[in-house]
Amino acid sequence: MELYAKGKDSIKNIKTLDTFCINQTKRAKIDIKNNKLIYFMSETECEFVGMKKHLKKLNIDVKNYDHYCVIMGGFRRNCYEIEMWKEIDNRLGEKFIDSLKIIAEKEFIIDNPDSLYIKDGIDIRNKYPNLLNKNYLQHR
């Protein structure tokens, strides 16, 4: 990003560096090197508690991730989080987190059968109609 500021006699070209992202990326790489992995997701998702439980078994912490709408032009966001997501995908495979989210989602339905939770435009209880079946629950 280039900024222009009027000096006393002329316009000066000022270059800015996105040091926040640079520092966040460095911090993430240090944490990764020290095997401190963190998976970021919104705690408003029904899978949050289940993901924490399952990823803890793999020594991966889960922290809340809030999506902000304000973007500063020329600056990158979520650099620490992105590095962590990439490393987790690299270690566990790109589909692992998605598969684990489905498991956590199903566990949420079983543990909270009366809770309405709309995801992708539908009540997730309707997504898995046999999940609350007594026979299914007995074999769990």
Give pLDDT, residue 114.
87
pLDDT class of 125 with cuts at 50, 70, 90: confident
Per-residue pLDDT tens over the stretch 77-113: 889 999 999 999 999 999 999 999 999 999 999 888 8
- Is the pLDDT reported for residue 128 higher than 70? yes
Average pLDDT of the residues in 24-51: 94
Domain positions in the chain are 2-138
- Is the pLDDT reported for residue 8 higher than 60? no
Average pLDDT of the residues in 107-124: 87
pLDDT class of 15 with cuts at 50, 70, 90: low
Q: How far apart are CA 52 and CA 60, in angstroms?
A: 8
Q: Which residues contact 71 (CB under 8 A, 6 or more apart)?
A: 77
Q: How far apart are CA 23 and CA 19, in angstroms?
A: 6
Would the CA dihedral through 33, 43, 46, 79 be positive or negative? negative
pLDDT class of 122 with cuts at 50, 70, 90: confident
